[in-house]
Amino acid sequence: MDKEQALTHLTGIGPRIAQKLEKLGIVQIQDLLFHLPLRYQDRTKIKPIGQLQEGEDAVIEAEIEATEIKNGRRRSLVSMLNDGTGSLMLRLFHFSSAQQQQLAPGERIRCFGEVRQGFNCLELIHPEYQHVHRHDSPPLAENLTPIYPATEGLHQNLLRKLIKQALEYPVDDLLPAALLHNADYPKLEVALQLLHTPPANSDIEQLFNPNHPARQRLAFEELLAQHLSLRLLRGHTVQRRAPTFNNAGLMCQKLLNQLPFRLTQAQRRVNEEIQRDLVQVRPMQRLVQGDVGSGKTVIAALAALQALESGYQVAVMAPTELLAEQHLRTFQQWLEPLQIEPAWLAGSLTKKQREAALADIASGETALTIGTHALFQDSVEFSKLGLMIIDEQHRFGVHQRLALRDKGSVGNLHPHQLIMTATPIPRTLAMTAYADLDTSIIDELPPGRSPITTVAMPETRREAVIERVAQACEQGRQAYWVCTLVEESETLDSQAAEATAEQLRMLLPQLRIGLAHGRMKAKDKETVMQAFKAGELDLLVATTVIEVGVDVQNASLMIIENAERLGLAQLHQLRGRVGRGSVESYCLLLYHPPLSRTGQSRLGTLRETQDGFVIAQRDLELRGPGEVLGTRQTGLVALKIADLQRDQHLLEKIQDSADLLLQQHPQRAQALVQRWVNQGMTYGEVY
């Protein structure tokens, strides 16, 4: 951080206050400027008592008519006030005898507080008050009084004092004049003064309107800064060196020859994009988006072979053990004919096995390692890591990406990164969240997939649904029954799954029914999944743990309970578990009637389309970007003022504006990032 920005330059800040400010995300002077008021109080004029309304904050000035102690349910000191337009009761529950004497009849006082409806008349309870004289009353506030988001032990008065000081500090307008002019934005200083200290008679409602030019300007600046931070990060990555994989591509050719299918056009295109990256001296940072079942794994394997043939190590990581194990099996099957034996790194290893595996990775003995994200984040040391493949990374924030990015470097060589996700990210969002990555899209499914017929049914038709499951299984098909209750609670979901499995076992004794949920031991879950995959089970009752990954071609029917409570993207992911083979597949969405409008719209979208991008765009409209990107979990884009949903229209201008800044005002670009993203970028090396 810039020294001039240190909070200690302000008066009134000691270590204790600094700590509290940090809780509010305030660590430098300019953070105070962007700590905007929650609301305003109007202390600029005296309100006639006759015009007061319950619930409003108001300044009144009146004469005391009488004061007495009331011994009601709670003892209190009450004074009757009158200003000629009406009367009002001042009530104090805690008071001294000095106060009682000072509130003498005939005295004139000015009060500020919230007006409440009392038993007989309007009341002010414990307002701020001061004695005044009729012809010599103190001046009123010139501006509306801001009320800030605060925290325990950090009071409004102090916050106001600090922010007032901060406003007197010089603040650079980092947006070039051309940008301001084009958008008709006010200068930064003007915008901040207005929002922190609006003049009397300001239209308060307008001040909170997100389209207010001052707010738009700040939101725009913030979004621009977020985008710039990723662009700068990318610029930094580009300057790093990576190993180049110049080889004859023999291994890739061998794999392609031995596959039982030909790559789709889209797979071939994406593969070429990756292969081109891998012969560059700068590290690849590529995100591959491809719908469920679009065939991302083979793309990963081809990239891996490119690194392996050049003598570099490869790490493949997946978010869950189940998924990692599926990759392990696939890679074993594909690569063993090429004399490559993948090593396994997951939580289920014994301590000894794990140590042995780590030793082999560190010595370079192991060329290809497959495991879970969590394990790679720990203590793995590579001897010569050339490529990191990160699967289903849609819930990873930039911080995690960075942590991994720095993890595998050897000397001054940095590994290439290939990131794969089945969650398509709408373009505008990708610009704020993934601007540091190149993107490839597999926009085609392998041939021979039959479309999935999706039907929404009220929960009341449960019996018919069970009958349908029985029929499908008797015809040799397999089915999933997905139980969901509350998205956040794996415990409740697991209980629901247990109960449903029990019920279905009773109703369908002829079927072999398995159960998989998040509270089972990983190993037991695995066993069940494997049995389902091997065709030893007809029906799998599960929670959303089967969301990603598992590839069972014979499964052609999926029931999803409480479908109305799940997000579109999640439903789409789940549904992607069926329709993987050539048999006609069905997805039945069970819901509790009546369906809300959003619920209807969601289930309707699923019935109409199977295109992940269309679904993601709809999801964005219905639920907002936090949900789509999983920011709730990861704090992916922590915005102070802008709102990705509300301010989407601003995103359109971001890219060009960022180009302009980077080309013509690189220092300002840096300063903008320092201003807005200071806490997000604490990776010493990045800047």
- Given the DSSP bridges, would you call strands 368-372 and 313-318 parallel, antiparallel or unpaired? parallel
| Token duo for residue 511 | 């079927």
Total binding residues toward ligand ADP, as defined by CB under 6 A: 15
- Rounded least distance, CB 327 to ligand ADP, Å: 9
Q: Which of 264, 285, 484, 562 binds ligand ADP (CB under 6 A)?
A: 264
Binding range to ligand ADP, per CB under 6 A, among 57-65, 175-183, 258-266, 375-383:
258-266
Q: Which of residues 280-319 bind ligand ADP (CB under 6 A)?
A: 290, 292-298
Compute the distance between CA of residue 273 and CA of residue 170 in angstroms, rounded to an integer.
48
- Residue 148 has which token pair? 């800030």
The burial of 140, by beta-carbon neighbours within 10 Å (0-12 exposed, 13-18 middle, 19 or more buried), is given as middle
Question: What is the C-alpha separation between 532 and 512, in angstroms, rounded?
Answer: 10
Within residues 408-437, the interface with ligand ADP by CB under 6 A covers: 422
By C-beta, is 292 or 346 nearer to ligand ADP?
292
Token pair recorded at residue 187? 């200068």
Least distance to ligand ADP, CB of residue 296, Å: 3
Among 28, 237, 267, 573, binds ligand ADP (CB under 6 A): 267
Reduce the secondary structure of 42-103 to three states and give it as a string: CCCCECCHHHCCCCCEEEEEEEEEEEEEEECCCEEEEEEEECCCCEEEEEECCCCHHHHHHC
Residue 391 CB, shortest distance to ligand ADP, in Å, is 7
Q: Which is nearer to ligand ADP, 423 or 494 (CB)?
A: 423
Closest alpha carbon to 304 in 266, 249, 383, 241:
249
93 belongs to the binding site for ligand ADP (CB under 6 A): no
> What letter does residue 139 receive in the DSSP assignment?
P
- Write down the least CB distance from residue 304 to ligand ADP, Å: 13
Contact assessment for residue 43 and residue 199, using Cβ atoms and an 8 Å cutoff: no
Q: E strands, 319-444, where?
A: 343-345, 368-372, 385-390, 416-421, 438-442
444 binds ligand ADP (CB under 6 A): no
Q: Which residue of the chain is nearest ligand ADP when measured via CB?
A: 295
Least spacing, CB of residue 176 vs ligand ADP, in Å: 43
Tokens of 303: 């990239």
Task: Tell me the closest approach of the beta carbon of residue 287 to ligand ADP, in angstroms.
Answer: 13
Nearer to ligand ADP, 217 or 580 (CB): 580
Tokens standing for 82? 């009158």
DSSP designation for 342:
-
If one asks whether residue 252 binds ligand ADP (CB under 6 A), the answer comes out as no
Nearest approach, Cβ of residue 501 and ligand ADP (Å): 26
Bond prior to 447 in cis (omega within 30° of 0): no
The nearest distance, CB 573 to ligand ADP, in angstroms, is: 10
Q: What is the DSSP letter of 143?
A: B
Q: Nearest distance from residue 289's CB to ligand ADP, in Å?
A: 10
Residue 199 DSSP label:
B
Determine the Cα–Cα distance for residues 64 and 77; give it in Å rounded to an integer.
13
CB of 367 to ligand ADP, least distance (A): 21
CA distance 379 to 375: 8
Q: Smaller CB distance to ligand ADP: residue 43 or 296? A: 296
Phi, psi (5° rounding) for residue 388?
-115, 130
Identified binder of ligand ADP from the candidate list 172, 261, 503, 652, rule CB under 6 A: 261
Least separation in angstroms between residue 568's CB and ligand ADP is 18
Closer of 96 and 553 to ligand ADP (Cβ): 553
How far apart are CB 530 and ligand ADP at their closest, in Å?
16
Of 294 and 423, nearer to ligand ADP (C-beta) is: 294
Region of 242-250, 260-268, 347-355, 564-572 interacting with ligand ADP (CB under 6 A): 260-268
Residues 528-557 that bind ligand ADP (CB under 6 A): 551
Residue whose C-alpha is closest to residue 396's, from 673, 566, 633: 633
Q: Which is nearer to ligand ADP, 456 or 550 (CB)?
A: 550
CB of 249 or CB of 581, closer to ligand ADP: 581
Considering the complex, state which of residue 422 and residue 429 has its C-beta at the smaller distance from ligand ADP.
422
Pick the closer one to ligand ADP by CB: 290 or 680. 290
Q: Binding of ligand ADP at residue 263 (CB under 6 A)?
A: yes
Nearer to ligand ADP, 217 or 572 (CB): 572
Residue 293 or 364 with smaller CB distance to ligand ADP: 293
According to the binding rule CB under 6 A, does residue 446 interact with ligand ADP?
A: yes
> Which one, 13 or 298, has the nearer CB to ligand ADP?
298
Q: Which residues of 251-272 are buried (b: 16+ CB within 10 A; e: fewer)?
A: bbebbbeeeeeebbebbebbbe
Listed residue (228, 331, 341, 343) closest to 680, CA to CA: 228
CA–CA distances in Å: residue 296 to residues 267, 287, 518: 8, 11, 26
- Compute the least distance from the CB of residue 295 to ligand ADP, in Å: 3
Chain contacts with ligand ADP (rule: CB under 6 A): 261, 263-264, 267, 290, 292-298, 422, 446, 551
